[in-house]
Chain A
Amino acid sequence: MWFLEWLETTSLAVWMQSSAYAFPAVEVIHVLAITLVFGTIAIVDLRILGLAGVERAYAPLADDTLRIVWISFVVAVVTGLLMFISQPVTYVNNSFFIAKIVLIALAGVNMSVMEFVISRTRDTWGPGANSVPVAGRVCGAISLTLWTVIIFCGRWIGFTMFQIPNF
């Protein structure tokens, strides 16, 4: 807890708290980044599930798209951290914030299983709705579900952080 209280006093945190434009600007970039994280992950997941883009083999599509996923994810994490340090103790006490972080971690585990275990045969997953093995499709479904719930949790943080609802 003392670490969180210390974080709140750093000059970066104070800037986030006191500047009129810092928090809104960071939040806007965060929203742009998370919509891209969700949207690009959805492109890959929908391909895995055979619901979209099935004329294309899996590997080139995944390679193209996952680049964008990582870049947007990094931006989302950096902007998220900046918002976090403005009120660390309050965020840590918000159930939706905790839920969001836990779910993101789970999504990371799910993605690692997909990338490092199941994807060993990815070069054989050609065009067609059923080219991705069942295990991969389970990961894809879990991923899409988790990230949808993560977006909902994120929105609910804004509604539950303050006494007066901040939409």
Chain B
Amino acid sequence: MENFAISLSETALSQMIQNSTWIIPAVQSVHILAIGVLFSSVLYLDLHLLGIVGRDSSLAHTRDRFRGWVIGALIVLVATGTLLIIGEPARQLLSAPFWTKIVFLIGLVYTLVWGFRRLAPLEAGAAFSPAWARPYAFASLFLLAGIVTAGRLIAYV
């Protein structure tokens, strides 16, 4: 991994990012905006599943309204995250919090796919409050918070 990080850091793209004063904070800012979109989308769907919001609209509508944004945000996060790794390979790839974050991310994607699969057959107007709502909501939010926490701790550890 160390050798991979070193060779990554010697690439032209990595050098360009390293020598720039603004690329990393700009890419990180976009990364944060995408976290905002992901977090609020996941939270909103979870709260609707739990019957706390959206009482005037159907769960199917909430599912459809947020699914595209969740997928889009994850794509932006992977893209900006990749740029950040290329810009500072050793700092990410040799960091325990970074790999913890990746494990949590895999867990989150699995959880979201699991949840959306179960919501897929739901039709507009149908009432739906499944038994799995609470554990699913807890898992999705815990994993998300874990990703953000581990991500911030990269700077400290």
Whether A24 touches B29, Cβ cut-off 8 Å, given contacts A40-B40, A60-B56, is no
Stretch touching chain A among B4-12, B107-115, B144-152: B144-152
Inter-chain CA distance A24–B152, complex, in Å, is 8
Per-position contact with B for A138-167: 1 when CB-CB < 8 Å, else 0?
000000000010011001101100000011
Whether A31 touches B152, Cβ cut-off 8 Å, given contacts A52-B69, A57-B56, A60-B55, is yes
Residues of A within 8 A of B47 (CB): 64, 68
Return 30 A-B CB contacts under 8 Å, by A number: A24-B152, A32-B39, A32-B145, A32-B148, A34-B36, A35-B36, A36-B40, A36-B43, A38-B32, A38-B33, A38-B36, A39-B40, A40-B43, A40-B44, A42-B37, A43-B40, A52-B69, A55-B61, A56-B56, A56-B65, A60-B55, A64-B47, A68-B44, A148-B33, A151-B29, A152-B25, A155-B28, A158-B25, A166-B155, A167-B25
The answer to whether B54 touches A64 (Cβ under 8 A) is: yes
Per-position contact with A for B121-157: 1 when CB-CB < 8 Å, else 0?
0000000000000000000000001001100110110
Interface residues on B, range: 20 to 34
Q: Specify the chain B residue showing the minimal Cβ separation from A39.
A: B40
Per-position contact with B for A46-69: 1 when CB-CB < 8 Å, else 0?
000000110111001100110010
8 Å CB interface, A75-117 against B: none
Residues of A within 8 A of B25 (CB): 152, 155-156, 158-159, 167
Residues of B within 8 A of A35 (CB): 32, 35-36, 39-40, 148
Give chain B's interface residues, CB within 8 Å of chain A.
Answer: 24-26, 28-29, 32-33, 35-41, 43-44, 47, 53-57, 61, 65, 69, 88, 91, 145, 148-149, 152-153, 155-156
| Centre residue among B38, B61, B91, B156 by max chain A CB count within 10 A | B156
Whether A36 touches B32, Cβ cut-off 8 Å, given contacts A24-B152, A24-B153, A56-B57, is no
